[in-house]
Amino acid sequence: MAKNKVKYTCQHCGYESPKWMGKCPGCSSWNSLVEETVKQIKTKGMKESNYKSQEKATSILEIEGAKEPRILTEFKELDRVFGGGVVPGSLILVGGDPGIGKSTLLLQISHALVQKKCKVLYISGEESVKQLKLRADRLGVLSADLYVLCETNMDSIEEAVQHVEPDFLVIDSIQTVYQPMLESAPGSVSQVRECTSAFMRIAKNKGIATVLVGHVTKEGAIAGPRMLEHMVDCVLYFEGEKQHTFRILRAVKNRFGSTNEMGIFEMKELGLVEVNNPSELFLSERPLGVSGSIVVSSMEGTRPILVEIQALISSTNFPAPRRMTTGVDHNRLSLIMAVLEKRMGLFLQNQDAFLNVAGGVKLDEPAIDLALAVSIVSSFKDQPTRPYDVVCGEIGLTGEVRAVSRIEERVKEAQKLGFKRMIAPENSLKGWTPPVNIEIIGVRNVSQALEVALQ
């Protein structure tokens, strides 16, 4: 009988070591290596050297191309994130903070697919069947083709899949499922890796669209090995502040569609409701005629979104001024303030800077740089901007304003919401005709943009 070996696996990155170490060499995390037992199974049969593959290489021109059929749901925001609907046989990973609404969203998706004559199997390892029934009653998603099961054993789950033969499978969550042949605890790196591999085989061989719910770490990343995100076809993050009712579903990986797409929902008493016009919703409570406030046009995937950026610049007596941001990378704030101080001659070294993106939205596009600069200078000089101005543009280290992509969509969204003027990079205005009802002002550097916005 083969002797079992012991290894130590990092629960954050999957690094394996034959002995225990306090600090993981892979991700530099402390006390993350956990002991696991490796079973040595002696295989019988031919040697690997005598094995001959039955598959042969085929020219790509000889392969018949087939367009992947998609299943549309009732949520247009969700279909946008998926790239046009759910693809049969795809493996999807959904992550988010506890209590953000992942289970609520998946139950509503399951009900929407049932209405499309699909059979859905919802397997939960964290809630009982009665708890799922109570939630389904509250959301009004009861249907005969929606099957629920409370199970964590991988073998039992495979038997349930063979018995029900669903078109859509939900696993809530992957950290609770365990493989009986492995001695490690559920949620460990080896268990998550093996169970995900099993669900990948089920999805590909049987053509079942499978959704895995993943826990997140305190940094917001999906718990488990990084290889988990490489194995799946689509990675979705469900984000939002608990103090706000808005929820954002963001795709960071999608083999069947565009990445960086975003769907916006609003949490209400009867579940999640999609927001068809998020720009109007984000600007509904915007104050007019105050300093430090400006509207920016940002692209999230293929959709333009207008949001308000607020800045507060106040003097401080401390030697190290504070730099705090919400919804924007604080390093970007420091960079913009350094450009303003060097190129515009503004003395900001003794000023605290607080920046906020209203509505709980996170912006990481370079096109918001010019709006950050305008809001900072507006608050610093206590000079309000025009209430019907929209700003977009990327700022370089020499103070130039660089061109942005999809300027036509940005202008149309601003015109639709009633804005009268847009300040944009001059190089982005070449080769197209702007609309008549909105004034487009092209600028080359930060100095010109501030002169126009604060006049």
CA end-to-end distance (rounded Å), the chain: 84
- Count of alpha carbons within 13 angstroms of residue 140, beta-carbon side: 4
SS3 102: helix
**Residue pair 113/146 in contact by the 8 Å Cβ criterion:** no
**Residue pair 400/378 in contact by the 8 Å Cβ criterion:** no
Does the annotation flag 376 for ligand binding? no
Q: Is 33 exposed, middle or buried (0-12, 13-18, 19+ CB in 10 A)?
A: buried
Q: 280-313 as b/e, with b when 16 or more CB fall inside 10 Å?
A: eebbeebeeeebbbbbbbbbbbebbbbbbbbbbb
Does the annotation flag 102 for ligand binding? yes
Does the annotation flag 98 for ligand binding? yes
DSSP state letters, 399-446: SBEE--S-HHHHHHHHHHTT--EEEEEGGGGTTS---SSSEEEEESBH
Q: Which helix (H) or strand (E) holds 92?
A: strand 91-96
431 — phi, psi (to 5°)? 90, 10
**Residue pair 323/311 in contact by the 8 Å Cβ criterion:** no
**Residue pair 175/160 in contact by the 8 Å Cβ criterion:** no
Residue 203, both tokens? 């999805």
Does the annotation flag 103 for ligand binding? yes
Does the annotation flag 329 for ligand binding? no
Residue 160, both tokens? 């349930």
Measure the CA–CA gap between 168 and 72, rounded to whole angstroms: 13
Residue 291, both tokens? 């300093």
Q: Which of 286, 305, 443 is nearest to 368 (CA)?
A: 305
Q: Compute the C-alpha angle 271/169/96, nearest 5°.
A: 50
Does the annotation flag 97 for ligand binding? yes
Measure the CA–CA gap between 342 and 203, rounded to whole angstroms: 56
**Residues whose CB is less than 8 angstroms from the CB of residue 60 and which lie 6 or more positions away in sequence, other chains included:** none
**Binding-site annotation, residues:** 96-103
**Binding-site annotation, residues for ATP:** 96-103
